[in-house]
Amino acid sequence: MKPAVSGEGVKASSALGVTCPAARKARKSWLKDPRTLAYGMMFPAFSLAGLMIAMLATWPALSWAEVIARVVTVHEGDRLTIRYDGRSETIHLKNIDCPELKQPYGKQAKRVTTAFVGNREVVVRSLKRDRHGRTTAEVVLQDGRNIAHELLKEGLAWSRPQASEDRSLGDMEQLARAAGKGLWSEPNPVPPWKWKATKRTGRRYSN
């Protein structure tokens, strides 16, 4: 009788390179078939190429997700020019609208934004173009405070919650309204989008 071979013996034999006749036959046939051999040689190259393509495809999204930039100009409360990676870009603060400079509290909004970020390094997140072609982004201080949130709390901006999943924006605006802060101290503050529409209509009729 042949002695029984235990499981540990099989593992040891496999580790030493001892394989069964069927496995040796399959390996020989694989090596003899030139098409199979060529596929086996090409597969690692295809895998590497696919990995590189996937990395290149995701790289722009990763590089635009968050950047460190310096604020070089504050044009209005919600409009800044930042500089990063050797280039400048004008951005609008995401999900808010500050009063225009010629509106009540427009200059105050600009002053507050300048005090927070003027000529300072900030974290810029979620850079993208909106449906109007403007570049929008979140601007965050080094201590984690979001500039848009601070402007809302001071009553120097309207929220645009319909463009965001962050429902806390509306809550911040409501708290500032209840406290009569900033533009909410006015009896009937006019949102900038309505103010600009009125100006355009006036110019059209004057012409």
Give the residues across from 79 on adjacent strands: 76, 92
pLDDT in tens, 9-19: 444 444 434 44
Instruction: Establish if 88 belongs to a structural domain.
Output: yes
Residue 113 is part of a domain; what is its CATH number? 2.40.50.90
**Predicted local confidence at residue 55, as pLDDT:** 42
Say yes or no to pLDDT of 31 above 60.
Answer: no
The residues, ordered by sequence, that sit 6+ positions from 91 with a Cβ below 8 Å of its Cβ are 79, 80, 81, 82, 124, 127, 135, 136, 137, 139
pLDDT in tens, 80-101: 999 999 999 999 999 999 999 9
Tally the domains of the chain: 1
Instruction: Establish if 153 belongs to a structural domain.
Output: yes
Instruction: Establish if 206 belongs to a structural domain.
Output: no
pLDDT in tens, 149-172: 999 999 999 998 665 567 789 999
Instruction: Establish if 32 belongs to a structural domain.
Output: no
- Given pLDDT bands bounded at 50, 70 and 90, which one contains residue 131? confident
Instruction: Establish if 80 belongs to a structural domain.
Output: yes
**Predicted local confidence at residue 162, as pLDDT:** 64
Instruction: Establish if 112 belongs to a structural domain.
Output: yes
Are 55 and 44 spatial neighbours (Cβ–Cβ below 8 Å)?
Answer: no
Selected residue with higher pLDDT from 57 and 35: 35
CA distance 44 to 33: 18
CA distance 75 to 70: 14
CA distance 118 to 99: 19
Q: What percent of the chain has pLDDT over 90?
A: 52
Q: Report yes or no on whether pTM surpasses 0.95.
A: no
Q: What is the dihedral of CA 143, 75, 130, 105, to 10 degrees?
A: 80
Say yes or no to pLDDT of 57 above 70.
Answer: no
Domain of residue 114: give its range.
Answer: 65-199
Instruction: Establish if 174 belongs to a structural domain.
Output: yes
Instruction: Establish if 194 belongs to a structural domain.
Output: yes
